[in-house]
Amino acid sequence: MKQGHLINKINRLIPIAKAVPSSDFTGEDGTGIWFRGSEELHGDHLIFNGYTVHPDLEEILEEAGWFWEPYDMGTLMAYIN
């Protein structure tokens, strides 16, 4: 799934994740996704806790052929496989 379509899907299903292109974080062109709300709660789980990602977000990413990766302990990114 293309970056823009995936960002729209994530923000529709998990708006607190605040997904945006990774270029908003890095200032460089890229095909990644940055989760500005990575330390927020969605239901009973954080979007990202430094070691794991919210199960709903993980499922969305896997189905789209993307993977998540921590940038640091509080910043979550996703990239296409």
pLDDT of 64: 98
User: Closest Cα partner for 78 from 46, 31, 39, 17?
Assistant: 31
Average pLDDT for 22-40: 93
pTM for the model: 0.94
CA distances, 19 to each of 1, 76 (Å):
15, 10
pLDDT at 29: 87
pLDDT digits (tens, 9 = 90+) for 41-73: 999 999 999 899 999 999 999 999 999 999 999
Q: Which residues contact 37 (CB under 8 A, 6 or more apart)?
A: 16, 17, 18, 47
